[in-house]
Each structure stands twice: as C-alpha cells, then as structure tokens.
A and B are shown apart, each in its own frame.
Chain A
C-alpha cells in the first residue's frame, strides 16, 4: 500500500479511536446511528450506485436482522451472536428468494416490486404475535464481548465503527475487482454483459444478497443499540431514507455511504431540534423537509456530494500497469481450418422469412464480410450467429459444436467476441477497465476473493492484458482516460480492444464503420488488416462498400434473406445480380447520409 492510500486509512482509524473519547452523550448516540445507517447505505452504494439496481425496500432487511436477534435474545434468551447468524441466514434466504423472483424484471418494475415486498415484510412484523405485533420487542440485551458489555454508547461505537470500516474496505476492494467490474457493467444492459460472458442475472442476485446481508448486519447493531425494535422503524419511509443517504453521498463511492448517512442523520436531528421552535406540528414537517431535500438533490446534483468534493482535489495518479504473467490463451486454430459453418439456416418471424436457407463457411484467419442492402437479413443472420436469436431451421456450428440453442454468454465463453453497431461501453469507466471487462471469461476470481484482495496476481495479469490490447489498437496512451471522453472512432477501437481481450477465436463486428469519419474508417481498416496478420478471424456486417472491398478476403452478399453472391471482393463487385440488387444505386457513395439521399432520389425518380 502506498502512503497515498495509507494516509486516509490512518486518518480514519485515528478519528475512529479518538472521536468517541472526545464526543459525549448525545453526539455519541448520533455517531452510533450514523455507523448503523452507513452500513445499509453501503449496500446501496454497491447495488444501486454501481449495479443500477434500485431498492426502496432495504429497511425490510434491516428489520429482519433486528427482529431475528431481538427475538432470539429476548424470547429465547439466546446469545446476540447466534441472533446475528440467524438474521444473516434469514435475510440472505429472503433476498435470494425475492431476487430470484424479481431481478429479471426490467426498468421500473424492479424498484416498484421492492416497494411492494418492503411493505409486505414490514406489515408482517406488525402482525406476528411472536414479534410483539405493533408494539415490537423491548428489553433487548446489549451485546457482550468477552465479558465487556457494550451497553454504553461509547463502547458500542468501538464495535460499530470497526465493523463499518471493515465492510467499506471489503466493498471498495470488491468494486475494484473482476466481479466489481461486472457489477458496474450491469448498467450497460443485458446484451453487453452477456456478450462479455457475464451472467447478468447471477451478478444481480449476488449483489442484491450482499446488500441485504449488510442491511441485516446493520439491523443487528440497531437492535442492540436501540434495545427496542418496532415495525415503524423499518417501514417504507426508512427504506427511502437509506436510499437518500446513498444518493446524497454519491452512489458511486464507498465513502459516499458514510457522508450521506452523516448528513441525513445530522440534518434530521437539526430539524428535530429546530422545527419545534417554528411550529407546534414539527414531526410532520420532518418528512416534508427530507422529501424536498431529496427532490432538490435529484434535480441539482444527481451524482451526490462526493463528486462535488472530489472536484477540489487533483485526480489521483493511476498506478502504472506493470508487466505480469499473461492470462491463459486459447490454443491457436490451424489456418484455413473450419471455424464457423452455417448450413441452410432460416429464421422466420411469423410469415416473414428474414433469413432463408443461407449456407457458408468461415475459416480460421480469414476476414469475411457480410453485405446487403437494408432489410436484406444481415442483422438477423448476425443475431443468429451471435446467439441473440435461435434459427427456425438449419444448423450453425462453431468450433465443431452446434450452437443453435446457445446463449450469447455461452458463445462468449466458447470464444466468440463482438462489437456493437451502437457502441456499448461503460462511459464512466476507464479504458483499461472497459477492456479488462473483455477478459472476464478468461479469469475467475469471485466476490469473496475480490473483496479479500486474493485476486491480485490475476488482476495484474488482467490489467497487463488490457494495456497490451489497448496498445495493439493504438490507444496505449490513454489507458486511464474515461471511455466516454473518446470520439466515436476511438470508441469503436476500444470495443475491438475489449473483444481482443477475450482472446477470441472469432470476432464479430456489427457495422464497425457506421458513423465514422473517413480518417477514423482508415484507422479502423488498418487495425483490422493488422489483426489478420496476427491470425485473428473476423466476420463483419457492413453497409459501406469502400470500407469492405479493400479489407476483406471474402464477401457474402444477401438480398431478401437469401445469399445472392459469394466470393472475392473483385468477383462479387462484378456480379450482375449484386449490381442489380445492391450496387446499382449505391456504387458511387461513401457517406451513409449521402447514400440515403441518393436512395430517396432514386425512388422519387421511379415514382415519377
């Protein structure tokens, strides 16, 4: 650890030790509650901030943790530590069930469902007689460690804050690890995650359970700090408050959890002491003020306070990427051996036959172009090959295996990497991180190894590989820039680098030249040519004739779902059927926009 990273840790440790000694009475109480809330907010930082899964229902998991230990230590006179274990198991199981049921839901359905189960669980607390119904449980004993009772707020803070700091450290490690990158990739949509060999659902579920466990841990602390639990503490309002904390701090940063929790807790406290001076109905206005604050944050500073604070600090110099042992590589294919075989493949959508009995073969170390006018069925064929759709008839074999029913993710694991027509990058992540995502399938460190930093050797190899691939596509100077800051041409190169990081047997490029300027196209073509020299196999779908003609070994031309020509570029471009179907109108044009204009003109002429 460098001094730069050590310093804040030392500061945090020192204040953690000193603050409880300096502060007294009520301030200590607040300090303890901040630690408890921070734990819940921390789970939301990982889940909502990084993973994009919004939950209004975290308070329910806090409740499960609190009630489990409360019930165990009062009704059953058991130990708080067994109570903690029961709470963790219960909330883990609940989260797994709820997550399995709801985490496939898209968009707003997921957060809405969190409102529903959050309310249902809270009502359950209020109606179970064993849990004291609406009155809850009282006289919960304090935690007792090695004979020392943590009954005083001061003693308690020496338990709560180290737990919080440890949890923050583990979460920060996790977010920097392989699985952390996968969590951050979730926001790019399922198609992106799948194409990288990441299982988006499993990653969501693990993240969701992690956040629930953190909430449950917080609930355990809460029960033994407050010594009383009642259902109102875990209602929807509490759940929203936790979300507010995470967002206010800055949901992308681990430290944001503490900052947000501190600001909200102190603000609520200030409101509680201020409002009674102004009005007699002060309790009601607290919710009003918090609600208004929440709206203001979302309107004015959607990214929270931490980014505003970080603006005043120089950006930390990123670590140089050192040479490391290379990641395992796939055995190379013999040149000319068959890589992908498409046999009489068809795809029907109802009555429409989008792809009709197409056959072709793609051999190792070859660049194959798939061409055709709009609506020819190229994209459908591309989807069939890349696993987004399954064929209605015929067979597709990749490396000798029938892949008709395999998903994109399974194909990615078998060595098929792709780029997207509309670039799919994580704009907030660095180039290195984006490319490292490509190596997801070649590495294996999981949540636990990542959180405990047992993945360092593998992580060095991944980063070294990422840097190598970035240098290969000519972005070696911008390793630590943010992907969103690149112009489109370089973003396409970045996608190629990400694909290369997967050490693929085949790279699929979906209209790689679309939207690029001439210079950018030239750079891309040069890169693809250089890659062929290095033995990479590429299949690309393209509109742009010029781009394809000088680049590929072989072309397949489609029209109305059938193959109308196949061969070397020179042969194909003189084929009469191709000229009629495709080139006749568009031969002279390079720019997509210009071509559209010509198409419109031509149809206009025909109509006339």
Chain B
C-alpha cells in the first residue's frame, strides 16, 4: 500500500480531510443511532437500514427528475404482504374482530404517503415538499419489514435475527435495483452558499448535515427522556420481560423502534444525497460503516456509538487520502483490532451463550 504519490499531507489538507471526515461521520452517527435503537429494543441488527437510506435518496432523486419513485411499489408490496400475514395470523388465532384495525394499520396507513407521492410525481416540486413526501414514503418501510420478517421470530436468538436481517437486505436491495435500475442519483444541494470560518471553508451542505445530525440527536434525547413512548422504548431495551409486565407491548415497541429507525434512515438519505452519488446498493456499505461505529460503542450506548461513528468517518477520510484503492479495506479491517480491544478491555469472557444455545440448528 503506497501513499498516494505526489500528495503530501499539509495542515490545510489535514483540516480539509477532518472536515470531510466529520461530515461523513455525522451521517454515520444518524445511521448508527438508528441501528443501536433497533438493536436494544428488538435485538435485531438492522442490516437493511442502509437500504432504506438508499431508497430515500433514490426517491428524492426520482421526484426531482419528475418520475414516479419505485419506492411506491415497494411500500405497496410490503403493505400487501403484511396485511396478508395479519389476516392469516388473526384467522389462525380466531381474533378476526381485530382485523379492521390491523388492516388500517398495515394496509391503509402505509398507502397514504404512497398515494400522495403517486399523485405528486411528475410535477415540478419545490425542495421542501419533495423532501417531506420522501420522508413520509420511507417511514412505513421499517415497521412493515418488522411485521413481515422479524415479528414472527420475536423470541428467536440474536443470531437467527441477524441472519434474517442480512437476507432481508438482499431482498430489499435487489428490489431497489429492480425499481430504480443501476444508475446513481445525486440530488440538488439544499444550500448553495459556502461559509468561511477562519481558514476553513464550510460548504452549505456540510453545515446542513451537521445541523441535522445535532437536531436529530436532540430530538431523540427529548423523545427518550421526556415522552411516555420514548420511556417505554427505553424500558423495553433494559428489560423486555419487565417492560412487558408493565403493560408495554413488545411488538408495539418493536414497531415504534423500526418507525424511528425508518425516519432516521430517511433523513440520512435526504441529507447525504446532494453530497454523494448514491446507487441502489450504496446504503449497505454506509450502514456497515455505521455499524463499525456502533460496535465501537458496544451497540448499547448512544453517545459512544456517535463517537465511534465520527471516528469511522475520520478514518475513512484519511484512508482515502493515503490510499484511495484500499480505503474500504482499511475501514473494514479496522473493526478487527477494535473488536479485539473491546473484548480485552471489557471482560475476557464471551457472554454466556445460553440464550443463543439452540439457535440455528440442532
């Protein structure tokens, strides 16, 4: 691995790389927060998170180009699947009386944004309504995926849930390729101005990313500390059984966590789309890098996950400077020493795997 020939690190370049890294890191913060949130509440490592992010970016891109985004079809497909599963399970449990509510929740509600987008598509939309429509459209994806893939396995070991998540990623990103094709999109910047901060030139979009990241973190903090629903989610994260005994429905908490995650994915997708060309499969790599950040935080602590995400962003930025070809190799290999450090620093024993015991097969 040779350092890029003819390029020498200078303070200005270092600063520029740091700025770039922090902007990337801020995206990973949002994604990492979503992943930690879903994991602590449902024990699902939500690999398709990045795919929802990609859907959001591609949807916004399609709206800008006045096309009907394929996400509409995804939501439609998922809503039909989820409704079918609801009907089947209610039928089996002889609880058909709850059917109208279920169908409204899993069938009708997700179709509202889909219908709105279908109507609006093809018109020349200003940025704000286009973004609002995009966010509204990706919002149901998380809860629907939860209903279809994870809720039937609520009591399965973490490993089985992880395998389902990975398989789900392939299905969802395959559908993205099917609906959007292999072309990448890059949306219009939301802010054309640049700001000067001493020697630092701050592009408007970077500022938007940082502000959005800070606002979302603040919002999550408020939700988790001030609202009943947020506290219920935290309770479920701490002790599932205890939360259940207090009357918190685990499946409702799960759906709520996936809803929040979907929202985070949507926001991340919208703010990253103007600075990077995103393809149908870009989300996965973004998600994995955020994972690495989240794992540094041990998948449990939000501030640690955020710090880890910034670290990954910086590492990526400097790695790209030194050896752009091996950037990804460096970032993904970094996980291994980090994991080793974690396992040495936080206890030598692997956690008892009793609850994983009878997992995938006999």
Listed in ascending order, the chain A residues whose CB lies under 8 Å from chain B are 48-49, 52, 54, 56, 98, 101-102, 104-109, 111-113, 115-117, 119-120, 123-124, 127, 187-191, 237, 240, 243-244, 247, 250-252, 279, 281, 284-288, 290-292, 294-295, 298-299, 302-304, 307, 424, 427-428
CB 8 Å contact bits of B169-198 with A (1 = contact, 0 = none): 111111101100100000000000000000
Report yes or no: A299 in contact with B357, Cβ–Cβ below 8 A: no
- A288 — which chain B residues lie within 8 A by C-beta? 170-171, 174-175, 178
A60 to chain B, nearest CB (A): 11
> In residues 213-255 of chain B, which contact A (Cβ within 8 Å)?
none
6 residue pairs of the A-B complex, CB under 8 angstroms, read A116-B333, A190-B352, A247-B361, A281-B177, A303-B362, A427-B358
Could you say which of B291, B329, B342, B343 contacts A123, with CB atoms under 8 Å apart?
B329
**Partner of A284 from B45, B177, B339, B357 at Cβ < 8 Å:** B177
Of the listed residues B169, B328, B353, the one surrounded by the most CB atoms of chain A closer than 10 A to its CB is B353
Contact A120-B358, Cβ < 8 Å, known A190-B350, A190-B352, A291-B174: no
- Beta-carbon contact of A109 and B332 below 8 Å: no
What residues of A have a CB within 8 angstroms of the CB of B169 in the complex?
291
Contact A287 B360 (CB under 8 A): no
| In the complex, chain B residues whose CB is within 8 Å of the CB of A191 | 352
CB distance from A283 to the nearest CB of B (A): 8
Are B170 and A281 in contact, with the CB atoms below 8 A?
Answer: no
Tell me which of B15-23, B111-119, B120-128, B155-163 binds A.
B155-163
| Complex contact A302–B160 (CB within 8 A) | yes
Distance A124 CA – B325 CA, assembled complex (angstroms): 9
Shortest Cβ distance from B29 into chain A, in angstroms? Answer: 19
Residues of chain A within 8 A (CB-CB) of B332 are: 116-117, 119-120, 123
Q: In this assembly, does B349 line the interface, its C-beta being within 8 Å of a C-beta of chain A?
A: yes
- Chain B positions within 8 Å of A281 at CB level: 177-178, 181
Question: Could you tell me the distance between the alpha carbons of A299 and B195 in the complex, rounded to whole angstroms?
Answer: 53
Bound: A124/B173 CA distance, A: 23
User: Given A287-B173, A428-B358, list of 9 further CB < 8 A pairs?
Assistant: A109-B343, A113-B336, A119-B328, A187-B353, A188-B354, A189-B354, A288-B170, A302-B156, A427-B358
Given contact pairs A105-B343, A106-B350, A116 touches B178 in the complex (Cβ within 8 A): no
Q: Is the interface of B mostly helix, strand, loop or mixed?
A: helix
Contact B326 A247 (CB under 8 A): no
B94-137 vs A: 1/0 string, CB under 8 Å? Answer: 00000000000000000000000000000000000000000000
Rounded to whole angstroms, the CA-CA distance of A191 and B153 in the bound complex is 27
Asked if residues B358 and A117 are in contact (CB atoms below 8 Å), the reply is no
A291, B173: Cα distance in complex, Å: 10
Contact call B358/A104, Cβ cutoff below 8 A? no
Partner of A295, one of B167, B291, B326, B342: B167
Min Cβ gap A495→B in Å is 15
Closest A residue to B292 by beta carbon equals A116
Q: Which of B163, B333, B342, B362 contacts A54 (CB 8 A)?
A: B163
Residue interface mask B293-337, A partner, CB < 8 A = 1: 001000100000000000000000000000001101100110111
Task: State the 5 A-B residue pairs at the shortest beta-carbon distance, nearest first.
Answer: A106-B350, A291-B171, A287-B174, A251-B361, A294-B167
CB neighbours of B168 from chain A (8 A): 291, 295
By beta carbon, the residue of chain B nearest A249 is: B361
- Decide: B343 and A116 in contact? CB cutoff 8 A: no
Chain A residues, CB < 8 A from B288: 115-116, 119
| Residues of B close to A48: CB separation below 8 A | 360-361
Closest to A49 in B: B361
The answer for the CA separation of A123 and B1 in the assembled complex, in Å, is 13
The answer to whether A190 and B171 touch across the interface, beta carbons within 8 angstroms, is no
Chain B residues whose C-beta falls within 8 Å of the C-beta of A123 in the assembled complex: 326, 328-329, 332
Write out the residue numbers on chain B whose beta carbons fall within 8 Å of the beta carbon of A101.
Answer: 336-337, 339-340
A191 to B350, CA, bound (A): 10
Instruction: Determine the residue in chain B with the shortest Cβ distance to A194.
Output: B349
User: Considering only CB atoms, which chain A residue lies closest to B336 in the complex?
Assistant: A101
> In the complex the two chains form, is A188's CB within 8 Å of B339's CB?
no
Contact partners of A190 in chain B: CB under 8 A:
349-350, 352-353
- Residues of B contacting A304 with CB < 8 Å? 361
Interface centre among B288, B353, B358, B362 (most CB of A within 10 A): B362
Q: Which residues of A contact B167 (CB under 8 A)?
A: 240, 244, 290-292, 294-295, 298
Chain A nearest Cβ from B59, distance in angstroms = 18
In the bound complex, what is the Cα–Cα distance between A303 and B359 (angstroms)? 9
B76 at the interface (CB under 8 A from A): no
Which residue of chain A lies nearest to B334 when distances are taken between CB atoms in the complex?
Answer: A116
